[in-house]
Chain A
Amino acid sequence: DGGITQSPKYLFRKEGQNVTLSCEQNLNHDAMYWYRQDPGQGLRLIYYSQIVNDFQKGDIAEGYSVSREKKESFPLTVTSAQKNPTAFYLCASSIANRAYSGANVLTFGAGSRLTVL
């Protein structure tokens, strides 16, 4: 079955450590996204990528980095510069990222819960 796989599901990190969250999709989608969700809040966009080897900052990119070397993969690194990294991280993909297209419907992975100790 096609879908998005995120790993790890749960991750604990000490302050000052970088961690990388994996996101892999086999849906042949061009666009991929990373969102962060805090309790009682909506999703906030960290980074997104419309095509391989290209990505753009979202609303809260500071302290995060990404790469898009393959169409299927969009890993997110949470760096030590991110001051409040404890959150639920969601990766998503869509057929495309176009202003007027219904292709913007997102498919999400199951998420990764990061806790900083």
Chain B
Amino acid sequence: RKEVEQDPGPFNVPEGATVAFNCTYSNSASQSFFWYRQDCRKEPKLLMSVYSSGNEDGRFTAQLNRASQYISLLIRDSKLSDSATYLCVVNRGGKLIFGQGTELSVKP
């Protein structure tokens, strides 16, 4: 079993839809959590950190459930420009572990 697992994609949604990505991690010693976005054939870029109380940045909401070892990312009112691969990242003892990514394709 991989240490960080994400929903297998791809997700194909129409513009304006709400889409949710899930991520689970297996090591309870993990301390901090992030979502990165990666466009096709480009480098990943930080989308947002994930805080215990949950946090929101515009149309994006991230949540963390430490008891269930589960992280989520919700995108509301999706735009064409949201099409990308979303990577769940877990920090365990200073080592950053990446999930395999979930691809999102937003269609007109």
Contacts and interface: CB of A to CB of B under 8 A. Distances in A.
Interface of A: 33, 35, 40-45, 48, 50, 58, 88, 90, 97-100, 102, 104-106, 108-111
A100 B32 contact: yes
Interface in B16-54: 31-32, 34, 36, 41-46, 49
B100 interface: yes
B1 interface: no
A104 B41 CA distance: 23
Nearest to B6: A42
Contact of A99 (B46, B87, B94): B94
9 contacts: A42-B87, A43-B87, A88-B41, A90-B44, A97-B94, A102-B49, A104-B32, A104-B96, A106-B44
Given A42-B101, A43-B87, 20 more contacts: A33-B96, A35-B98, A40-B100, A41-B100, A42-B4, A42-B99, A43-B44, A44-B98, A45-B95, A45-B96, A48-B95, A58-B95, A97-B94, A99-B91, A99-B93, A99-B94, A102-B32, A104-B91, A106-B44, A108-B45
Interface residues of B, number: 22
B6 to A, nearest CB: 8
A33 B31 CA distance: 19
A104 B46 CA distance: 11
B105 to A, nearest CB: 15
Q: Secondary structure at chain B's binding surface: helix, strand, loop or mixed?
A: strand
Interface of B: 4, 31-32, 34, 36, 41-46, 49, 87, 91, 93-96, 98-101
A105 B46 contact: yes
Given A100-B32, A104-B32, A105-B34, A110 B43 contact: yes
Contacts of B49: 102, 105
Nearest to A33: B96
